[in-house]
Amino acid sequence: MNSLKDVPVGGRAKVVRIHGEGAVKRRIMDMGITRGVEVFVRKVAPLGDPIEITVRGYELSLRKADAESIETESLFA
């Protein structure tokens, strides 16, 4: 499984599935990160937390632990 955490800076990925349940999954989905959406990784902090992404035109910061629960497939565009 590839997670959003594994996408390199400048890379794009398509969300395949969000693992987890309850508040964590709801928080991720409230950010607009849902199955099938394209995510662009803009920046990763030096220690890997947080990860800054662009989703649906919005710039967001995501915890590394949350990014690990987002299964992705890479896009070459």
* Predicted pLDDT of residue 76: 67
Low-confidence stretches of the chain (pLDDT < 50) are none
| Entry pTM | 0.85
* Predicted pLDDT of residue 59: 94
DSSP string, 1-50: --BGGGSPTT-EEEEEEE---HHHHHHHHHTT--TT-EEEEEEE-TTS-S
* Predicted pLDDT of residue 9: 93
Sign for the CA dihedral angle at 22, 27, 75, 51 comes to: negative
47's CB contacts (< 8 A; 6+ apart) are none
For residue 56, give Cα distances in angstroms to 21, 31, 44, 46, 76: 23, 10, 19, 25, 18
Q: Domains in the chain and their CATH numbers?
A: 4-75 (2.30.30.90)
* Predicted pLDDT of residue 77: 52
* Predicted pLDDT of residue 46: 86
